Amino acid sequence: MNDRLHATAAPHPAIELERRWGADNYHPLPVVLTRGEGVWLWDSAGRRYLDMMSAYSAVSFGHGHPALVAALVEQAGRLAVTSRAFHSDRLGPFLERLCMLTGMDRALPMNSGAEAVETALKAARKWGYKVKGIAAGRARIVVAAGNFAGRTTTIVGFSSEAQYRDGFGPFAPGFDTVPFGDAAALEAAIGDDTCAVLLEPIQGEAGIVVPPPGYLRAAREICTRRGVLLICDEIQTGLGRTGRRLALDHEGVVPDGLTLGKALGGGLLPVSAFLARADVMAQFTPGDHGSTFGGNPLAAAVGLAALDVMEREGLAERAAASGERLMAGLRALAHPAVREVRGRGLLVGVELAPDFASARVVCEALMAEGVLTKDTHGTVVRLAPPLVIAPAQIDFAVAAFASALRACGG
């Protein structure tokens, strides 16, 4: 039905302009959004949608959260960007709060998630040379198959996704890939030159892949015993998304390095950070690393306000309860096209049977039902709404999912 809608409706002029003047590196759903409030989005025709994607978890607090918008506006009018050539009155309090909430010693602010991961890679390698004594130029980092850590050339170089790499080499060497969720394989890949293991506690872009229980605890134990840093990428899973402040908290694991991003910007700005143990962060000295915009007063004010909102509104606890309701509702549909409902908190993936409509077509049908989300990896529909979502809104999403499956012939 949506294919017909595609073929007959004249494309919106805003879509035409993007097509004419933009790069073709995304395949958005054919909707032009003009306004957002809380869990709701409105398109150019005034139609309302429930946001079940929250910009890949960047909008965990909902669109236009009043406290965050107020922090943004107030700070923007006072002082926004200074560069790190000077101190500002906003950065210190933000870094302190970040460290207190995550249990890490030090924080280095960046902007995008990919930059935070690049920062982690640099810190890990230098720690490997200066502290562990790895011979110059030989440091290696173990990563998991199915990883997603951003789109820079070094990061796509260790992706196991062919399309992310194709045409973009040559790539930086020094990465070893192991299957995700297999602790024995992880240990076997660690050699004398390994400085770090980089893991997502739950792989988001790979299709909401939750590792077996105990995997992260085993990874922690292996890294400690073998003298290797455990660096966890919580850019998508962190800040309440999975029902705890960090997804690592489910297994009581404290990493040596941690990346945060997405929701850290309150859904208003790009704000990311690399956090670490003191001796790891101590590898950076003046001139080693930096970012023109990283840690600017505006980002620091909004980031601090975002952390306050997460705590004050109990968003991790709400995500835990809402995630249970969402997954229980989807499983209760007992639909033959639904092969698996998996996830943690409000990071949920619905795996569709391979002979059913593609996840993309199901997302188009969901859009017709007033729910916006995106497919990941062909057969998985991602459901990751703002953490402020109310129970009745979750029930609306579940009912819309049932209708969308029916519309796709199920």
d(CA 405, CA 5): 17
State phi, psi for 259 to the nearest 5 degrees: -115, 135
DSSP state of 269: S
Should residue 60 be labelled a site residue for ligand PLP when binding is judged by CB under 6 A? no
Contact 369, 403 (CB under 8 A): yes
Exposure string over 353-383, b if 16+ CB within 10 A, otherwise e: eeebbebbbbbbbbbebbbbbbbbbebbbbb
Assigned token pair, 302: 């909004």
Contact 390, 365 (CB under 8 A): no
- Using the rule CB under 6 A, which residue among 117, 209, 232, 298 binds ligand PLP? 117
User: CA 204 to CA 198: how far, in whole Å?
Assistant: 14
Q: Could you give the CA distance from residue 350 to residue 311 in angstroms, rounded to a whole number?
A: 29
Is 356 annotated in the active site?
no
Q: Where are the alpha helices (DSSP H) in 204-296?
A: 215-226, 278-281
Amino acid residing at 267: G
113 binds ligand PLP (CB under 6 A): yes
With CA atoms as reference, report the closest residue to 219 among 192, 246, 182, 194: 182
CB of 26 to ligand PLP, least distance (A): 12
Residue of closest CB approach to ligand PLP: 113
Q: How far is the CB of 250 from ligand PLP (least distance, A)?
A: 16
Select the span of 79-87, 113-121, 213-221, 242-250 touching ligand PLP (CB under 6 A). 113-121
Told to check if 54 binds ligand PLP by CB under 6 A, we report no
Q: Which of 149, 156, 248, 363 binds ligand PLP (CB under 6 A)?
A: 149
What length is written for the chain? 410
Strands 257-260 and 229-233: parallel
Q: Is 261 in the site for ligand PLP (CB under 6 A)?
A: yes
Residue of 150, 181, 267, 297 interacting with ligand PLP (CB under 6 A): 150
The window from 111-119, 240-248, 299-307, 348-356 that contacts ligand PLP (CB under 6 A) reads 111-119
Measure the CA–CA gap between 311 and 172, rounded to whole angstroms: 39
Which bin fits 141, alpha (ψ -120 to 50), beta or left (φ > 0)? beta
Choice between 134 and 347, CB closer to ligand PLP: 347
Sign of torsion over alpha carbons 325, 326, 331, 334: positive
For position 148 contacting ligand PLP by CB under 6 A, the verdict is yes
Which listed range, 68-76, 86-94, 147-155, 364-372, lies at the site for ligand PLP (CB under 6 A)?
147-155
The single residue of 61, 94, 148, 293 carrying the catalytic annotation is: 148
> Of residues 1-40, which lie at the interface with ligand PLP (CB under 6 A)?
none
Residue 164 found at the interface with ligand PLP (CB under 6 A): no
Minimal distance, residue 347 CB to ligand PLP, in Å: 10
| 230-249 binders of ligand PLP (CB under 6 A) | 233, 235-236
Q: Can you name the residues that pair with 203 across neighbouring β-strands?
A: 209
Q: How far is the CB of 25 from ligand PLP (least distance, A)?
A: 13
Angle between helices 391-407 and 315-332 (to 10 degrees): 30
Active-site residue, selected from the candidate residues 233, 249, 256, 375: 233
Q: Binding to ligand PLP by residue 207, rule CB under 6 A? A: no
x/- string (CB under 6 A) for ligand PLP, residues 291-320? ------------------------------
Tell me if residue 262 is catalytic: yes
Query: Which of these segments, 78-86, 142-150, 172-180, 250-258, binds ligand PLP (CB under 6 A)?
Result: 142-150
Question: Judged by CB under 6 A, which of 98, 114, 121, 216 binds ligand PLP?
Answer: 114
Catalytic residue among 51, 61, 262, 356, which?
A: 262
Q: How far apart are CA 328 and CA 399, in angstroms?
A: 12
Q: How far apart, in whole angstroms, are the C-alpha atoms of residue 265 and residue 257?
A: 20
What are residue 35's DSSP bridge partners? 42
Answer yes or no: 148 catalytic: yes
Query: Which CB atom, from 365 or from 381, has the smaller least distance to ligand PLP?
Result: 381
Applying CB under 6 A, what is the total number of residues that bind ligand PLP?
A: 16
Q: Which residues bind ligand PLP (CB under 6 A)?
A: 56, 112-114, 117, 148-150, 200, 204-205, 233, 235-236, 261-262
Q: Which residues are catalytic?
A: 148, 233, 262
